[in-house]
Amino acid sequence: SYELTQPPSVSVSPGQTASITCSGDKLEYKYACWYQQKPGQSPVLLIYQDSKRPSGVPVRFSGSTSGNTATLTISGTQALDEADYYCQAWDSSTVVFGGGTKLTVL
């Protein structure tokens, strides 16, 4: 079965840039999405189709995909960005999530 691999944790200082990667075989040929989930809340869509940002998502969130890796970049990270982040793609009519990355802002 298809797998997406994320680092379990990423740390960043306030105001700096955080990058969260998501690796999967031939990921560049599938569209990657990114979601943010804070404790006790439902996930929120941040990025779809690799790099598109829904209305209302701050511009500091951006996405890109190259080869087997999709990357979520958070520029000027704020304390309120501390959360779990998940990548997601489709493979053979199956929704696949990465294992999630806990972003710590310290």
Positions touching another protein (CB under 8 A) are 1, 31, 33, 35, 37, 42-45, 48-49, 54, 84, 86, 88, 93-100
- Report, in Å, the least distance between residue 11 CB and another protein: 19
d(CA 35, CA 43): 6
Residue 11, token pair as written in the block: 């740390």
Q: Give the residue with the Cβ less far from another protein, 16 or 38.
A: 38
Q: How far is the CB of 17 from another protein (least distance, A)?
A: 23
Q: Does residue 20 contact residue 71 with C-beta atoms inside 8 Å?
A: yes
Round to the nearest angstrom and report the end-to-end CA distance of the chain: 36
